[in-house]
Amino acid sequence: MEIIDIKTSKSYPVYVGQGAIEALPEFINRYSQISRILLITDEKVAGIHLHRVKEMVEKTGKPVEVCIVPEGEHAKTFEVFYQCQSFALAHNLNRKSLVLALGGGAVGDLAGFVASTFMRGIPFIQLPTTLLAHDSAVGGKVAINHPEGKNMIGVFYQPDAVFYDLDFLKTLPEKELRSGFAEVIKHALIDDSDFYQWLITNIKNLNSITDEQYLTIVKRGIEVKAAIVAADEREDGVRAYLNFGHTLGHAIEAAMGYGNFTHGESVLIGTVFALNLSLKKQDFPFNLAEFVQWVQSLGYQTNIPETLQKQTLLSNMKKDKKTISEQITFVLLAKLGKPYLTEVDDRTVMGELKRQ
């Protein structure tokens, strides 16, 4: 098992490896003041992993309450957030309680936001069960969605630890692997050209990734994010680079309806869009045709869904949190591993939307 130290205003460990969850009870018992534990998970994860994890947590000898929420982005609503708060109050949680987030990125976002606001903030621990959550579980962004935009209601609130048990990934369907692997690709493109070359050389089928490859993928992805978050915890500068591909990606998610098109699949389309813009603005050696062929061979759609109106996508992108003027702010690449922020005028954006 590997331990990665995340250094922000609050430093904490990320445990990565097969069976990592087995170290959880000992870690919790370091907190002698913890009185009760609230485990938040979704309907699907509960049917696969809840029994094992609950048994593990009960080894602490502390009362464990389980709150089950809807699957995926359907969990990230104000109504579900309110239900979790009501559940916590009804089961006598207090300022000495602990929240565990068992699930993918949506559960982690929701549970972290619940923890950050319950009695003005109680500790929480991320227990990711998806590949996508290697990105969302680290860095302290917690939020719920609004119909007008993704993650519009939230805070920066760091977990006390992350336990990333790679055994959980063995139960993921290919669609969820694709969603998570899009964020792995993003980390490579914005930070590490050698990692990108390793991915494109070694990963030919998402269903045949080995345990050793998973450890490399997750560990390197977390290290990339950890370095950026350490430099800019509250997204005042370079942390915005982690949104590469997300400007259009979030716009597609909103237009399709949250939960109808996975986050990673949306981001991958946004990544192709951002790479196109990058290559138009900067002359650097990057084989976009090879990239598109590779991701398509992995099962990704690279074109904008035909049902979506381009004007709707443009309007949605203007609501992006990076955008502070009338023009949309994008993360683009000056070269592989060198991202930068820039504003792009509507005419250029609309032209690219029509081409993709």
**Annotated binding site for Zn(2+), which residues?**
183, 246, 263
Residue pair 62/34 in contact (Cβ under 8 Å)? The answer is yes
User: Which residues participate in the annotated binding site for NAD(+)?
Assistant: 71-76, 105-109, 129-130, 141, 150, 168-171
Q: Give the angle subtended at the CA of 25 by the CAs of 83 and 219, to the nearest 5°.
A: 85
Nearest Cα to 164, choosing from 122, 220, 208? 220
User: Could you list the active site residues?
Assistant: 120, 141, 183, 225, 235, 239, 243, 246, 250, 263
Q: Binding site membership: which residues?
A: 71-76, 105-109, 129-130, 141, 150, 168-171, 183, 246, 263
C-beta separation of 121 from 157 below 8 A: yes
Task: Report the alpha-carbon distance of residue 97 to residue 93 in Å, rounded.
Answer: 6
Mode of pairing for the β-strands spanning 124-128 and 141-146: unpaired
User: Which of 353, 337, 345 shows the shortest CA–CA distance to 286?
Assistant: 337
The answer to whether 318 and 312 have CB atoms below 8 angstroms apart is no
Q: Which residues contact 245 (CB under 8 A, 6 or more apart)?
A: 182, 186, 267, 268, 270, 271, 273, 274, 331
Distance of alpha carbon 225 from alpha carbon 136, whole angstroms: 10
